[in-house]
Amino acid sequence: MADVLFATWDGGGNLPPAIGIAAEVQRRGGTVRFLGYEQQRHAIEGAGLRFEPYTRQGAFVSATPKSWSRSLTSMLAMINDRSMGSDLLRSIHREHTDLVVIDCVLRTVLRAAAQAGIRRAVLVHSFYYTGALSMGANGPVARLRGHSPTGPWGGAEFGLVASLRSLDPDGNKTHSPSTRFIGPVWQGTPVPANRPAGEPRVLVSLSTCWWPGLRQVLQNVLDAVSELPVKAIVTTGPAISPTDMRAPANAELHQYLPHAELLPTVSLVVGHGGHATTMAALAHDVPLVVLPMAKFMDQPKIGQAVEKAGAGLLLPKRSSPARIRQAIQDLLDNDNYRLSAARLGNEIRQRDGAATAADAITQTLAHQAAGGTRAADR
């Protein structure tokens, strides 16, 4: 089949869809490798995929606590790090590569691939606008400065949007033929939640990345569930130790638990609007309370879409425990939220994002082998 290189970064929820697509390409007989940060090695190699690190490490480590200004500065430094593009070119010179699949945030990597004339695809790991902003003249800063994005895929062969088109606010717009809405890429096969009898179980998972205020928001959620007749299962992620939190008697805290095993048994998810967690919850017909941790990321837009679809409620991250408690109670008491989540869940389960992406890669490379022209050259 194909020799495909995936270029990624340590953004938390951006890695699972890339791994899912890569694993499917490899399952079909392709040769796959990843270029990423050292802290991603375990997840990538654990999925049976080859890994090679960028030469410059530590520009942005998602789980490391920093001040707000340092977090934003380090993220922008990573996005504009030209050495990442140089690493891509060196990797391609060392080993035959038919196609590079590049995370939409990595503007310098995309630019290096374009200047070298390398066949490439863009992976948008969230809503379409996430990729459009990243491709724009000012990248992720465009929204902050009021600029409009331009050139959605920067001359790439095609863009893979790993989201549910009907939920994506930009899904019904007119798009270039090179835009492929592949649907969420899930690990395993999601099934509707089969909630056990007794008190409802609530999964609390705010982020695998560190964000300013994360610890306080998590504590507010714990305080909120303390007065509810629920069982809370809380995953703090690598940025926060469970021992640093004040947990009520009806909550159990873990740094990590596989959500795929928990979601079939819960009635509600309290999350931060991360695309991966949100889509996983909906894939199991589970509604959400969304507390976005970063205004400039995709989280608020995802929360707005969930609320508009009737599958959950969006709250500011500074919400008091009382307000969070009321939102949780409202979702548990009103079955319409579950029914709306189930409608979206059924739609998600009808699509296999990894298979659809692998089909697009296969078809593009087969067209090339048959003597077709590059989409960027037509």
What number of residues does the chain have?
Answer: 378
Report the amino acid identity of residue 41: R
Delimit the domains of the chain by residue range. Answer: 3-184+352-377, 201-349
Other Cβ atoms less than 10 A from the Cβ of 22: the count is 29
| 370 within 8 A of 190, measured Cβ to Cβ | no
Q: In what order do the strands lie in the sheet with 158-161?
A: 50-53, 31-36, 3-7, 99-103, 120-124, 158-161, 179-181
Q: State the chain's mean pLDDT as an integer.
A: 86
Of residues 207 and 80, more confidently modeled: 207
Homologous superfamily of the 201-349 domain (CATH): Glycogen Phosphorylase B; (3.40.50.2000)
DSSP H/E element including 338: helix 335-349
> Can you give the pLDDT at residue 260?
86
Rg value, the chain, Cα: 20
Query: Could you confirm whether domain 3-184+352-377 is CATH 3.40.50.720?
Result: no
Quick: pLDDT tens for 280-316.
999 999 999 999 998 878 899 999 999 999 999 999 9
Distance separating the N- and C-terminal Cα atoms of the chain: 24
Quick: pLDDT tens for 343-373.
999 999 998 999 999 999 998 888 766 654 4
What Å distances lie between residue 255 and 11, 108, 210, 341, CA to CA? 18, 33, 13, 27
> Can you give the pLDDT at residue 144?
36
| Residue in the structure block whose two tokens are 């425990």 | 321
Domains 3-184+352-377 and 201-349 share a fold: yes
Q: Give the span between the Cα atoms of 126 and 133, in whole angstroms.
A: 12
Q: Give the span between the Cα atoms of 227 and 238, in whole angstroms.
A: 27
**Entry pTM:** 0.85
pLDDT band of residue 62 (cuts 50, 70, 90) is low
- Taking the mean position of all CA atoms in its chain, how far away is CA 280? 10
